[in-house]
Amino acid sequence: MDKPIYLDNAATTPTDPAVVEAMLPWFSAGYGNPSAIYSLGAQAKEAVTLARETVAGTLNAQPREIYFTAGGTEADNWALIAAAQAYAGKGRHIITSAVEHHAVLHTCQYLEKQGFSVTYVGVDDQGVVRLDELRAALRPDTILISVMFANNEIGTLQPIAQIGQIAREAGVLFHTDAVQAYGHLPIDVKTLGVDLLSASGHKLRGPKGVGFLYVREGVKLPSFLHGGAQERARRAGTENVPGVVGLGEAAKLAQASMARRAEAERELRDYLIGRVEREIPYCRLNGHRTQRLPGNVNFSFRFIEGESMLILLDQAGICASSGSACTSSSLDPSHVLLAIGLPHEIAHGSLRLTLSAENTREELDYVVDRLKEIVQRLRQMSPLYEDFCREQERS
Ligand code: PLP
């Protein structure tokens, strides 16, 4: 294989050439500042307005409910910190889940240091948030529930409509981190009962460093960045015009091709899962078997260390991940895998393969063939595996 097989689409996606094309004029001839009075500025402003309308349309939202940010992390930080500030008079309790991305978890830890209390609701062995636990966690001083739409490591989809209903009945704000789901699955903020939603351009073949926060009309969040009237004075700073245009284009393309891509990805995903389960012993599929992102595959292989697997896969021209891209440099096992009940040693032997509709069965066949060799090779070097085999022979 001359070019790498890219199976890390949850970390980031290649930018669509049509998106690059749409962005280019805004780096060159269309360089005006959208706040300027003259037409060069007005054109840039119009481009941002169009992108806002496109994004709003994909969610059944109003354009004025969309605030562009510098990505998913910023949108998550803004949603949580601003909601906490705005509603502190009502209460200082927040509910989230144990499997959130660190953009939410670390923000919650920050808020705990500011005097808020946070309940981290557990998940079942497939990664689905326990709704009974979530209901039981509600208190008179609860102001916010934040539960992700789809998990970035194991792909499990959360019962967002039900959580929206619970939040509404309790009179509590509901934020969802939809960074992995936006552009991949249909999302209607109105029917789901979502008040705040975060998304990021680079997960849907858009540019990196741009995303948005949806803020339902009527939710009064304080400004996140101060110093200008941009984004209705709630997120100051000269707009990232090329990035916003790219995000708008990516959102439009993703919406148009969503059903076709999801079907192709599910087919590839289930083919890959099937081959691995049939051909590699002592593996475990992590996450929900059906309620999962169309392109997500996550396995744990016993007696193996995930990092070594990634290095050998890379040598075979395969880009994969052991979990979240943000924690891949850490040696701690994934908090998501621990939350679904995996013991440390099994959580360490995990592999995430996230597909796109552009992948082919031929590529997946190559991946499974290499993976079989790699798993076998690493197990042969594992004293734990040796002990296990001896034990098997004895019994
Ligand atoms: N939330 C989730 C679920 C993610 O997967 C990611 C990125 O991997 C983020 C937030 C952060 O998004 P960004 O990279 O745009 O800051």
Helix (H) or strand (E) holding 110: helix 102-113
* Centroid of ligand 1 to alpha carbon of 379 (angstroms): 33
Q: What confidence tier does 158 reach under pLDDT thresholds 50, 70, 90?
A: very high
10-25 pLDDT, tens digit each? 999 999 999 999 999 9
Q: What confidence tier does 328 reach under pLDDT thresholds 50, 70, 90?
A: very low
347-379 pLDDT, tens digit each? 999 999 999 999 999 999 999 999 999 999 999
pLDDT at 243: 98
* Centroid of ligand 1 to alpha carbon of 328 (angstroms): 14
Q: Which residues pair with 118 in a beta bridge?
A: 94
* Centroid of ligand 1 to alpha carbon of 200 (angstroms): 7
Whether the CB-CB separation of 288 and 124 falls below 8 Å is answered with: no
Residues near ligand 1 (Cβ within 6 A): 71-73, 76, 101, 103, 148, 152, 177, 179-180, 200, 211, 325
* Centroid of ligand 1 to alpha carbon of 177 (angstroms): 8
Whether the CB-CB separation of 44 and 34 falls below 8 Å is answered with: yes
Sorted by where each starts, the structural domains of the chain and their CATH numbers stand as 5-11+258-394 (3.90.1150.10), 17-254 (3.40.640.10)
> Best mutation site among 8, 80, 97, 101 for ligand 1, i.e. most ligand atoms within 8 A of its Cβ?
101
> Best mutation site among 152, 296, 321 for ligand 1, i.e. most ligand atoms within 8 A of its Cβ?
152
Sign of CA dihedral 76, 77, 81, 86: negative
Query: Active site includes 326?
Result: yes
On average, the pLDDT of the chain sits at 95
CA-nearest residue for atom 9, ligand 1, is: 72
Q: What is the pTM of this model?
A: 0.96
